[in-house]
Structure 1
Amino acid sequence: MDAKTYIESGILELYVAGALSEKENQEVYEMMKQHPEVLQEILEIESAVIKLTESVAPTQNITHFNTIKSKLNLEGGTESKIIDISKPRYNWVTYTGWAASIVLAGGLLWTLNLNDVLKSDIKIAETQQELLEIQIEKSKINLNEANNLISVLRDNNISQIPLAGQGNFEQTYAKVYWDKAKQRIFLDAQGLPEPPEGKVYQVWSLTLAPLTPTSLGTIENFTSDENKIFEIENANQSQAFGITLEPAGGSKTPTMEQLYTLGIVKS
């Protein structure tokens, strides 16, 4: 499920309310790690809950206070209100006990509201800490990937194979960095457009005589990967590399009508 659909599903509101199971909470946490917009939506929901609580609590306290004043005949006004002490309906002990009960109820309500605000503040702080930890971990991973790629680009034993656009896709391009010693390639796919929904790019190793394609797998995370650089295992004696657009899950043989790029390894 994409981030937009996930946000609109209403599951984040249930997460903030604490109404999800442990498994569902874990699913939300995984979505937060993968999609910053999901985490931002959670923070906005929690902030809205706090603002709503703050706006409602004072009104409720005033309402209870006014009710107490009304019951005790303490409402202000120009006309004085006299209680007939010769025939009292209730004695002062009854009034005091009744009023104390209302004050206590109002105090409990205020305490509950305060506890809700404190719990929301704690949850926001925990979520922000999780976001910071995710960002730090992501920075470490990006730094390691960058250092790894730099070492590959500077290695004279690494073969560079440009892949040119083909047929109706002549504007596309890609580049393969082949590390034969470690039997892997680094595919720079920055020149490929976003695949349509239900489609994936599939990478092929080719031998030319006779023409034999061997699948190196599909790029499932093409859209979410910002750098568009993918490390792929390749133990083949490749003479060329190609990229086709295939149905989700990939194909056994390349769809030549959807051949986006092709490049021959120079001997």
Structure 2
Amino acid sequence: MDINAYIESGILELYVAGALSEKENKEVYALMQKHPEILQEVLSIEAAIVKLTGSASPSDNSHILQRIKQTLGFGDDDTKIISITKPRYNWITYSGWAASIILAVGLFWTMNQNKQLKYEIQTAEIQQSILEMQIAEAKNSLEKANTLLSVLRDENITEVPLAGQGDFANTYAKVYWDKNTQRIFLDAQGLPEPPEGKVYQVWSLKLSPLTPTSLGTIDSFITDENKIFEIENLNESEAFGITLEPAGGSETPTMEQLYTLGVVS
């Protein structure tokens, strides 16, 4: 749209004067909201009208009559009576009406600006929160990686490979057991993503007699990219196993869903 051509077309003067149809008024109003240049032009026209009507005194219009007579070719002595009909449009009324419109538009524009500013602030706050979360996650991942490296390099750490079992022979995992701190680090990279409604559950086992003790479920398996989990282990474990259980875990392992198993050497 050519804004300058639209402004020079004269439609904005007619809009301020109230000489447009309802449909045309709506179109101009919509363009005022969209284009600040059009809004500014309407404000300028309104200001000019207010100034014009303020400079003309309604009690003294002799100079206006004289100018009309000169324009029509009559001298001062002419006695011809010129019938001047009352203008169809009262500019003072229009200016007051237009001022109300301009005020409404200005308020609407201000409200939109405030709303946009509020939206931008909220967006910036959300982006900052996301960035802070990402930094925190990266920091946690780095700390976790450094901790794992120290565990892997510790000669006192017991490594327990967990081999796939039965129908899950292709799966695998590994436990790094730090007996001094009573915790294990489970590397579960070799396990597939559990189906919906299911979770992996880790077990500490005594072999004689076979006594399983739950070390908890891996609820964050899907969301954890590294698939390395730190788990507290207060047991004198002789073996470790991983089963697939319903969400929330089970009191005893479901042996038909035993994915991996490894004996402590």
Does TM, normalized by the shorter one, top 0.5? yes
The match for 2:228 is 229
Q: Does the 8 A contact of 1:61 with 1:110 survive in 2?
A: no
Rounded to whole Å, the distance in 1 between the matches of 2:135 and 2:103 is 48
The match for 2:196 is 197
Q: What residue identity is the alignment partner of 1:171?
A: N
Q: Report the secondary structure of 1:226's partner residue.
A: coil
Q: Report the secondary structure of 2:116's partner residue.
A: helix
1:139-188 deviations in Å (ceiling 9; x for gaps):
21111111111110100000000000000000000000000111111100
Distance 1:85 1:260, change over 3 A: farther
The match for 2:183 is 184
Note the C-alpha offset of 1:221: 1.1
Note the C-alpha offset of 1:137: 1.4
Rounded to whole Å, the distance in 1 between the matches of 2:143 and 2:236 is 29
The match for 1:58 is 34
Please identify, of 135-144 and 239-248, the stretch whose mean Cα deviation from structure 2 is larger: 135-144
Q: Report the secondary structure of 1:232's partner residue.
A: strand
Rounded to whole Å, the distance in 2 between the matches of 1:253 and 1:233 is 18
Q: Report the secondary structure of 1:242's partner residue.
A: strand
Q: Report the secondary structure of 1:192's partner residue.
A: coil
The match for 1:253 is 252
Structure-2-length-normalised TM-score? 0.68
Structure 1 segments unaligned to the other structure (5+ residues): 1-54, 70-83
Rounded to whole Å, the distance in 2 between the matches of 1:181 and 1:192 is 27
Q: What residue identity is the alignment partner of 1:167?
A: G
Structure 2 segments unaligned to the other structure (5+ residues): 1-30, 46-82
Rounded to whole Å, the distance in 1 between the matches of 2:257 and 2:159 is 23
Distance 1:183 1:56, change over 3 A: farther
Note the C-alpha offset of 1:134: 1.3
Note the C-alpha offset of 1:106: 1.6
Rounded to whole Å, the distance in 1 between the matches of 2:165 and 2:32 is 63
Q: Report the secondary structure of 2:191's partner residue.
A: coil
Structure-1-length-normalised TM-score? 0.68
The match for 2:136 is 137
Identity of aligned residues (%): 69
Q: Does the 8 A contact of 1:61 with 1:106 survive in 2?
A: no
The match for 1:22 is none
The match for 1:240 is 239
1:85-110 deviations in Å (ceiling 9; x for gaps):
62234432111111111122122222
Max Rg structure = 2
Rounded to whole Å, the distance in 2 between the matches of 1:132 and 1:121 is 16
1:191-211 deviations in Å (ceiling 9; x for gaps):
001111111111111111111
Q: Does the 8 A contact of 2:162 with 2:241 survive in 1?
A: yes
Q: What residue identity is the alignment partner of 1:207?
A: K
Rounded to whole Å, the distance in 1 between the matches of 2:167 and 2:133 is 41
CA RMSD of aligned residues (A): 2.6
The match for 2:105 is 106
